[in-house]
């Protein structure tokens, strides 16, 4: 299973390079992750994308102005502070506990037998 986790979103006051509106741009920073029953493992890189709510377009980095790039760098740093790390799920602990109980029981049987 693979999906993206939203880390950070920020609205910009900059002009949209496509429709020139000043109130439509929004950055979304996501971090991909792999997830299974035992753990959740986020990928190491954070992706940022720019979307304009005015003209309903994704604005690709080739069209970014230097002002937008500056705001991107600033917000990327904020996103970095919200970075996700490996998370162990409760099932892992239950399985570990179960394994310990089984091993302890096996040792007990060996010793007492
Ligand atoms: Zn626009």
- DSSP β-bridge partners for residue 58: 51
Count of structural domains within the chain: 1
pLDDT at 67 > cutoff 70: yes
Model pLDDT for residues 80-93, shown as the tens digit of each residue: 999 999 999 999 99
Virtual torsion, Cα 23, 19, 69, 41, nearest 10 deg: 80
Res 3: pLDDT:
74
CA 73 to centroid of ligand 1, rounded, Å: 20
Contact partners, residue 22, CB within 8 Å, separation at least 6:
13, 14, 15, 16
- On whether the CB atoms of residues 44 and 84 are closer than 8 A, the answer is no
Distance 54 CA to ligand 1 centre (A): 5
pLDDT at res. 4? 85
Tokens (6 digits) for 68: 């937008």
Q: Report whether pLDDT(55) > 90.
A: yes
pLDDT confidence of residue 2:
57
Helix (H) or strand (E) holding 27: strand 25-35
Q: Is the pLDDT of residue 38 over 70?
A: yes
Does 94 have pLDDT greater than 80? yes
Distance from Cα 99 to the centre of ligand 1, integer Å = 57
The residue segments making up the domain with residue 42 are: 2-112
């Amino acid at each position: 299973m693979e999906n993206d986790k939203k880390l950070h979103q920020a609205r910009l006051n900059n002009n949209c390079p496509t429709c020139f509106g000043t109130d439509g741009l929004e950055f979304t920073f996501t971090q991909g992750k792999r997830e299974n029953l035992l753990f959740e493992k986020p990928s190491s890189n954070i992706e940022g994308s720019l979307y304009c709510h005015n003209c309903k377009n994704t604005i690709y980095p080739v069209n970014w102005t230097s002002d937008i790039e500056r705001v991107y760098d600033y917000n990327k740093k904020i996103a970095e502070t919200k970075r996700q790390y490996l998370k162990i799920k409760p099932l892992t602990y239950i399985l570990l506990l179960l394994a310990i109980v089984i091993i302890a029981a096996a040792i007990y049987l060996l010793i007492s037998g």
